Structure 1
Amino acid sequence: MEHQDLTDSRKDPLCISQLKISSSSLDPLPQANMAEDLTKSRRHSPIKVEGSEETWGVEDDDDLTDPIFDTIEGNGHSDPTSCFDADLSEYKKKATVIVEEYFGTNDVVSVVNELKELGMAEYRYYFVKKLVSMAMDRHDKEKEMAAFLLSTLYADVIDPPEVYRGFNKLVASADDLSVDIPDAVDVLAVFVARAIVDDILPPAFLKKQMKLLPDNSKGVEVLRKAEKSYLATPLHAEVVEKRWGGTDNWTAEDVKARINDLLKEYVMSGDKKEAFRCIKGLKVPFFHHEIVKRALIMAMERRKAQVRLLDLLKETIEVGLINSTQVTKGFSRIIDSIEDLSLDIPDARRILQSFISKAASEGWLCASSLKSLSADAGEKLLENSSANVFKDKAKSIIREYFLSGDTLEVVHCLDTELNASSSQLRAIFVKYLITLAMDRKKREKEMACVLVSTLGFPPKDVRNAFSMLIESADDTALDNPVVVEDLAMFLARAVVDEVLAPRDLEEVLNQTPEAGSSVGEKVIQMAKTLLKARLSGERILRCWGGGGIETNSPGSTVKEVKEKIQILLEEYVSGGDLREASRCVKELGMPFFHHEVVKKSVVRIIEEKENEERLWKLLKVCFDSGLVTIYQMTKGFKRVDESLEDLSLDVPDAAKKFSSCVERGKLEGFLDESFASEDSQSKKQNGSSSSSG
């Protein structure tokens, strides 16, 4: 089995260690007998830790200051044991090499084999000490690897007393470790707490060691910190286990490789207990659908292994190792990819149908929750080859867009690839666009939003894309821990950009399969929260810098956008290029601010600057194309209404001219018939008050 999948076999009553190595098989060399006798002469009988049923074979009250106590570390041994100084020195060198290689390869099996070949079991406490002390001065990855290795070797390879003694030495040398490692106290405290959580040290270790060490020593600080900061807190076990990342440091590809290896080895050995242990060791319950998927594919490819693999899936569900949601998701993923599978396995559809029938009849799959294996009559599934070709082209188009920022080129490329009935391909394109953007910087995220807004895909296709993104969020989370937050922001941005309507949020959740519903609820709730906040439109638009296509810069300020609008209106009025003006408005990339375009256009009309009819044409084209919504149009007119007093200083009859603009706007359909300026409203109020008087 792949070494990374090994876990502490003691914790799983079902587990039978694959390695089948016990410390009793690792006999010490003949010359070590005398040292072992000296050590044993100082040991008491095994004691029971208070409050625990487990017996710990460790000395109760070793006195570290007792000259008779054999440290086996060259502290002035008498002649009978002097020959062992050379043995220990040799062991230290080899232990250091083993640890260095382990940090480089992460190969647990190699460590086990090398320790077995090395022998000298009485020196294994030093391996514990060396492993931890070397990890302390490295990254979190190595610290987690060290903790994992100790848990794996405990009892099977290294006797409990040697583990206890190794930590005894570490705590006693905390003062020396602090000289080279500034945060040695905290790091060693975590190692001690982790050892207790992993059940390789008894809780009584803390109190016993405190009695043996001077009150002002670093060792006492380590023990107190382990007890108060890590073991006394709520949910301390989970906190300690995740302190250095745990399996969170694995990528999706790492986990998939481990799953593949464990299934291959299970097919060869048939050892279910070992397979269960390895599945538990992955510690990714949200990714168990990958086990289901890969087991089913392997069963399709290897007919002789079908019974064994299906039996494994059945038992993992019966013992609660894999839940029904993950099983359903695993089968659903196979159904989604059945066209691809059929290229390599011609009768894949028939085989999968037989698997579904068998699983349903045995009670470990709810077949009614699965999609139909037959293609929908109304919406034929895409041809496999063409879908795969499009996926590759889509990735290429998106990557080029991130480099060039040329939206028109993307539109042109998609026009040649898609047709009116390519709904599924459009959803795939949006999914890939957002997926690739999430793995990049703010610039690319902003560019992705601008492109989605520019493409003008039907809301249904965008909804489908977000449903697919939410469904795969658990997998994406392995590489992107903040995937929920990112998706919520993209979804909120789509609403602000008016690509989706607010009511589409619930529709996205309804379209998401049950397997992704919990993640979907989080995404939708977070998106709604973002949209409800004060000034949410502007905040969401500027969360990744704003500035539309010009995302090479951190984003344009409001003042800069106003200047751009002023310039584009002046150029349009003088040149009359309506298409270019519309493009410039779109490329502002700030649809929430399009009311400024309306305001400045109406103000220019009131000021009777040249070619006012051109401005009316621009407003009409922007409105008819959806570039400026009725909300933005109304807001623009209201802002002009609010500034009439200032305008009247330069244009005395500004109010009268504005009323004419309002009437024109209503005729063009820009404004609702109920729209009225503040001036007309005040006149109505005055009229009603005078008539009542």
Structure 2
Amino acid sequence: MRPGEPKKGGGGGMFTWGRADDMSNYKHIEEDLNDPNYESDPSIEYHESSLNSSSSKPVTITSQALPTSLTQEYWLFDHQELRKETRGKVDEVFTQGTYSGFITWLRSLKRNKLHSYIFARTVQVTLDKTESEHEVAWGLLELLSTAKLFTPRDIRRGFDRIYRNMNEIMIDAPNAPEIVLELLANTVIGKALNTNSIIRVPSSVYNLGQGSYVLRNVKQEMVSVVDGVRNTQEIVVGDLIETIAETKEKIVEMIREYYASGVSEGVIEYTKMNKIYGSIVVRKAVELALDRNNKDKELCSRLIGELSGYCAPETLVEGFDDILWNSKELIIDVPEAGDIISKFLARAIVDDCLPSNYIYEAEIMHDENIEILISAFNLLKTKEAYTSLQSVWGPQVSSIDEFKQIFKTIIIELFDSKDLKNAEECLKELACKHYMHEFVKKIVEAVMDRDENEENIVVELLKNLQIRGIVLENQIARGMERVEENLQQLALDVPKAADILARLKVKLNS
């Protein structure tokens, strides 16, 4: 045995489920539940079985009707009571030697949103069972993950909950990280989850659970392009966790470049070749857009729409799950993040990037999640939802002529209202730093035949815009140059145009 290896090569000993590649006790399910085109029947049928009997009879779970309105109560449940009840039902499996009581209880809940919580709690309870009870424990977990009792989404969310509570779980089961990773590996190999689930493992759990060893048998083909040549190689998915920090930095940089240029080709090509990182791309795109202007938010929504054409539907769900569950931290940095996320969520549903029932099936981690989901629901329930959400980030500018018309409107409103702040915000939302010389030209020409008070307003506005970084210094200089180039024409209407321009330059430099 090499230093650091699990006992028996990871295939036995206390708190182990058998080797990840040992399929002797594993029943392969031919139907790929993780196929993005797979849809479960409204009535889910599985068999109630006994550990001591080969007889079985069909049991049916009927889908719950969706509500027509949403309040906080829709998501709330008694965590302590469910925690206690789950433990009791799991213990019954071991004392009575049958899964039927557990299945009947699960069926009686009629709340799919509890499934990931129950899955996570069930795993936690089975961790402290004796070695002789592990066969029964594995049978129960196999039933949850492969018999259509829980969906792949339920299981993936369940593992996410386990990772978040790992420190608490390790108090009673110090070997929990290793056991959980072996369970994850078996679940992926058995096709109840896809390989993308592996890179969702936090680095802390991966290291504590000896992930480089436990996850060694979970592999996937990855595509790379070097000097225009497309290469395919098989990699150990767990190894990607060791470089996930660098990968996230690369994704963040690509998205920043996209917001600067508006060209999505780089992000799309990267995601097409690295679909395993699709949910990270979605999450980072939204997180980076939270404190940006509305133009970038619109670019983010459009990027999500493009990504939906190349990624499996569940990839988008995973990305928004991560955003939702991390919203409490995001709100600390961007106080209005909750409202913004609800708009991204509603827009993604309208754009068919997320399933229409995502809000109903979403799960919460804290109260902020509920507020976001209710806000998104309210945006979607109106008759005009499609039209209004298509412009949820405001009117979008796509041509130079549109910019010119908007500049003209801003200038007219400024002289009418004298509201500098409003003009600054309108220009900021346009996010066209490299075309602001046109605005400078237009407002300087417009003030030529106005009084000194309005002249001072223009000077103050241009100074404020430069200080805030809305208009770059070179754009102001270029705008003034263009006015100077047009002085001869301006002088026909304003004979003292040259003097006014000179005076404005002095004021701007003072």
TM-score clears 0.5: no
Normalized against structure 2, the TM-score is what? 0.39
- Rg larger in structure: 1
Higher helix share: 1
Relative contact order, CA 8 A, sep 6+: which one is greater?
Answer: 2
Higher strand share: 2
